[in-house]
Amino acid sequence: MKQRPSLDLSALPTFGHGPRSPTWWGTLGFMALEGMGFAIAAGAYLYLATLWPNWRLSAPQPNHWPGTIVTLLLIVSLVPNHILHGYAKRCAIGPVRIGMVVMSLLGVAPLVVRWFEFPALNIYWDTNAYGSMLWVLLGLHTTHLITDVGDTIVLTVLMFTRHGYSGRRFGDVGDNVFYWDFVVLTWIPIYLLIYWMPRLG
Amino acid sequence: MSSADLASERDLPPEREASVKGDIAPEHDGPRDTGMDDAGLHRWLTRTWRTPPGIIGALSSVDHKVIARRYLITAFVFLCLGGLNAVAMRIQLSGPQRGLIGPDLYNQLFTMHGVTMMFLFAVPIVQATGIYLVPLMVGTRNIAFPRLNAFSYWIYVSGGIFAWVSFALNMAPDVGWFAYVPLSGPEFAPGKRADVWAQMITYTEVSSLAVAVATIVTVFKQRAPGMSLDRIPLYVWAMLVTSFVVVFAMPAVMITSTFLILDRLVGTHIFNPAEGGDALLFQHLFWFFGHPEVYIIFLPATGMISAIIPVFARRPVFGHLGLVLSLIAVGFLSFGLWVHHMFATGLPKLGASFFTASSMMIAIPNGVQIFCWLATLWDGRPVIRTPLLFVFGFFFIFVIGGLTGVMLASVPLDLQVHDTYFVVAHFHYVLIGGSVFPLLGAAYFWFPKISGRMMSERLGRWHFWLAFIGFNAAFFPMHLVGLWGMPRRVYTYPAELGWGNINLFISAGAVVFFLSFVLFTFNLAHGALKGALAGDNPWDAGTLEWATSSPPPSYNFARIPIVTHGEPLWAEREALPVATGLRVDVRELLISTVAEAHPDIREKSATPSIWPLLAAIAVGGTFVYSIFTPWAVAWGAAPIAITLIGWFWPKGDPEDEE
Ligand code: HEM
Ligand SMILES: [Cu+2]
């Protein structure tokens, strides 16, 4: 087919942040489907909890302290996370490097406390369905936590190499910030379900 | 709006501050296509976009057309395998008390048939068609996240091979395609068969989800300049809505299969009523996915029909907006119907009535679609070619399937025919009428684009009539034996019941239907080798995939087309307006804004890489291992992490760095 040039793209930039970038939308897509996974798992928990009148099935209450510490750590981490985002948007390589190191540490810290959360549930996964659901919910979130922390650490290393100083990498940092928000936000309802709903009953 | 407007000031995104660019490492640049002559441009782009030669090159390909072709061929092979399962079952059932196949093998056969058709054929093939067509139809050079797309294919084949190797080892799932607990639970399904079901689900869903995300982002961000929402082709709309349904439905089945494998492998009690779990929970979770699944198969088919009808009716589709809105409405409503698969479980009355009502309501948008298609044909000057014949076949068969569907949505009738051949007849009318017939029409329609050659029209007509007659002969009588009480999933029946003759007739019909696929295969091979050359646009169609050569070059479009109309090729018959200014020495494509498709960024698209294959091997190995021990997850973590790092770590290509 014959062609008629009628639009010049040569002045367009080669990367963009946030919703301008396809990677941002891809991240959002994965958040949607993983969020759906969380919602379905939480729905299954609530379904069983309303099905059985004596829910918690005479298991002891979970100790909420490790979970509460994780929650506080995660919420606190949002502050440096967003400061980092600002640096990434301005493509300031020095502060971004520092920010990534801080976020890696703030990712590892809740993971360490998470280790103590499992025994604090005060029940095993194979004791009864209540125990199973607690382990499943906590396990699901832990999987996300581990993968995102792994991702953050790899990206941190990358930012210190010669590959770091490029628009594409700053975009990656932005998406990493975005995904961490998701990991924190999904934790809140799960935290309430695991530790505070049994206290209501 | 004229194409000149697109370049005007207001199209430039407001937040693009000059200072931002200034901060960045040295501005990279290279040769641009502006003013380049066609031959030179072709040479550059071919060098930049080609799939590298050799085996490693082929395994590293990230070209959406190459991946889609592999998907299509693989899915077709699985259709044939699933069809052979069906033929084997039909031979066994062709007379009373035949001893060809025992109950244990029969259980594996219908389960393998069901899972193969649903998870290894129907869903992958509609997604594969989208992987091929969507980037071409929106006028871009590759799908978004090309490596993820390649990864999804490898995961999909491994899942298929895993299931079929298990079948060869007499280890295939035998619990039905939906594997209800307690039958599939630890108590009643010892051995590994149910685990095979659970993990093959995990494989195929990971792959579908990846494709869905890539499709959504391609449609949102990679549309050619000027392709605002109202100019998106209906087929692309259909794939977009389908991808959203996948994103929100498939996680449910992954959770279901994961819960099942946990119950079986590490002793959780999620589905165990004795310890505070619940068996019906499985059904809710499964059908929350399972009903939308039907629309994941059906919506793309409606998109194909909406693409085929206007071309052969020689006029733009009637009621474009109505069709888009119905697609979206069906997408939403498909999530409100799952309980109609569970009417026989003794749900509360009111709940059941609600789901009856919603099951009937979905007939409204479907009806709107059928009305728009008929109006298009009515008002056009239809040219009857094979693709259109299959569309007519779809109308006929799908309407019958829809009617029995409305019947089944009423609880008293469902209770009578639940688990009989009436249901088997119903869902084959819906699945084969609603998906396989449109797919066959689509195959004839787009084959010239993919292969550069036409399929035989004469064989095509034979194929159509053989398929149509064979299908109805095989499946219509199933309604009757179903009403007479023949249950599904039985490996035989006693002679006294008098079901022998009709079953023999059904089996004969099934063989005819199967033969129609043999003829189709012959027509495909014959067309690919000896068919008449197609040229760019053999049907004189209006959408962008026909604006490039057949088969399209690796880079799809030498210059990105500009869209000024819903059927751009009908509106711009003299010369297609195109955009210039992209680099030719790296894989550059155009990112545009979501609603208006204003040009926004010159983005680089990923280069070929072997890592997606290695990552798929690591992930697949972990899945297989995990049916034996939960520690597989720990062992698999390291190889998965290594392959993912290999995948994402920049290796010096400008595409990775800039
Ligand atoms: C060659 C064409 C086909 C024939 C002759 C055929 C035949 C059959 C028969 C006889 C059964 C019932 C087995 C039983 O209940 O004992 C069955 C089940 C089924 N078929 Fe097909 N079929 C064909 C194509 C398809 C296609 C194209 C699909 C999907 C797209 C499909 C999906 C299913 C499903 C989901 C089941 C239920 C399996 C189960 O009970 O778990 N079939 N088929
Ligand atoms: Cu349904």
With beta carbons less than 8 A apart as the criterion, state whether B572 and B564 touch: yes
Token duo for residue B571: 């509106």
Q: What is the pLDDT of residue B5?
A: 39
Q: Which amino acid is residue B481, in one-letter code?
A: V
C-beta neighbour count of B498 within 10 angstroms: 11
Instruction: Kindly write down the DSSP assignment for every residue of B281-334, as one continuous string.
Output: HHHHHHHHHHHHHHHHHHHHHHHHHHHHHHHHHTSPPTTHHHHHHHHHHHHHHG
Chain A residues with CB-CB distance to B335 below 8 A:
none
Q: Which contiguous run of DSSP H or E holds residue A6?
A: strand A3-8
Distance from CA of B115 to the nearest CA of A (A): 22
User: Which DSSP string do the residues of A170-196 spell out, in sequence order?
Assistant: HHHHHHHHHHHHHHHHHHHHHHIIIII
Residue ranges with CB less than 5 Å from ion ligand 2 = B 291
Residue appearing with tokens 């071309």: B311
In the chain, the amino acid numbered B170 is N
Beta carbons of A154 and B23 less than 8 Å apart:
no
> B579: how many CB neighbours lie within 10 A of its CB?
28
Does the beta-carbon distance from A3 to B559 stay under 8 Å?
Answer: yes
- Chain A residues whose CB is inside 8 A of the B144 CB are 22, 26
CB B658 to CB A44 under 8 A?
Answer: no
Helical H segments across B169-233, by residue range: 193-221
* Pocket test residue of B428, B499, B520 for ligand 1, highest count of atoms within 8 A of CB: B428
Of A2, A9, A136, the CB nearest to B590: A9
Identify the pLDDT of residue A150: 95
- Does residue B121 contact residue B186 with C-beta atoms inside 8 Å? no
Q: What is the DSSP string of B443-464?
A: HHHHHHHHHSBPPPHHHHHHHH
pLDDT digits (tens, 9 = 90+) for B572-585: 888 999 999 999 99
Between B242 and A1, the higher pLDDT residue = B242
Nearest by CB: B601 against A13, A127, A130 = A13
Taking the centre of ligand 2 as the mean of its atom positions, its distance from the CA of residue B292, in whole angstroms, is: 7
**pLDDT tens digits for A145-195?**
999 999 999 999 999 998 888 888 999 999 999 999 999 999 999 999 999
DSSP codes of every residue in B357-395: HHHHHTHHHHHHHHHHHHHHHHHS-----HHHHHHHHHH
Over residues B493-551, the pLDDT tens digits come to 999 999 999 999 999 999 999 999 999 999 999 999 999 999 999 999 999 999 999 99
- Select the residue of B20, B255, B594 nearest A41 (Cβ to Cβ): B255
Average pLDDT over residues B478-501: 95
- Side-chain-side CA neighbours of B372 within 13 Å: the count stands at 26
Burial class (CB in 10 A: 0-12, 13-18, 19+), B1: exposed
Nearest residue of A to residue B212, measured between CA atoms: A29
In chain B, residues with a C-beta closer than 8 Å to the C-beta of A129 are 268-270, 272, 275-278
Give the residue from A8, A23, A40 with the most B CB atoms within 10 Å of its CB, the best one to mutate. Answer: A40
pLDDT at site B581: 93
pLDDT at B299: 96
Q: Which of A21, A25, A14 is nearest to A166 (CA)?
A: A14
* CA–CA separation, B232 and B245 (whole Å): 19
Question: What is the C-alpha to C-alpha distance for residues B500 and B6, in angstroms, rounded to an integer?
Answer: 69
Integer CA distances (angstroms), B123 to A154, B50, B79, B115, B458, in order: 35, 28, 11, 11, 30
Residue nearest to atom 7 of ligand 1 (CA): B86
Cα–Cα separations (whole angstroms), residue A42 to A114, A125, B38, B199: 19, 16, 58, 22
Q: Is the CB of B478 under 6 A from ligand 1?
A: no
Cβ-based contacts of A91 with chain B (< 8 Å): 20, 23-24
Our answer on whether the CB atom of B118 is closer than 6 Å to any ligand 1 atom is: yes
Q: Answer yes or no: is pLDDT of B167 > 50.
A: yes
At B590, is the secondary structure helix, strand, or coil? Answer: strand
Residue B349 — pLDDT band, cuts 50, 70, 90?
low
Q: What is the mean pLDDT of residues A86-97?
A: 92
Ligand 1 atom at shortest distance from the alpha carbon of B432: 27
Q: How many Cα atoms are found within 13 Å in the side-chain-facing hemisphere of B209?
A: 24
Which residue CA neighbors atom 14 of ligand 1 most closely? B489
Radius of gyration (C-alpha) of chain B in whole angstroms: 25
The pLDDT mean for chain B works out to 91
Cβ-nearest to A51 among B250, B272, B278: B278
Q: Please write the tens of the pLDDT for every residue from B441-460.
A: 999 999 999 999 999 999 99
Please name the amino acid found at residue B327.
L
Cross-chain residue pair A163–B650, CB shorter than 8 Å: yes
ipTM metric = 0.96
What is the distance between the alpha carbons of residues A109 and A124, in angstroms, rounded to a whole number? 24
Burial B294-306, CB ≥16 within 10 A → b, else e: bbbbbbbbbbbbb
pLDDT band at B413 (very low <50, low <70, confident <90, very high): confident
Report CA-CA distances (Å) from A6 to A132, A165, B2, B109. 62, 35, 10, 59
Q: Is the CB of B431 under 6 A from ligand 1?
A: yes
Residue with tokens 């069901």: B114
Reply yes or no on whether the pLDDT at B18 is more than 90.
no
Say if residues B421 and B482 touch (Cβ distance below 8 Å): yes
Across the interface, whether the CB atoms of B144 and A52 are under 8 A apart is answered no
How far is the centre of ligand 1, averaged over its atoms, from the C-alpha of B550 (Å)? 36
CA distance A9 to A12: 6
CA angle B224, B227, B233 (to 5 degrees): 105
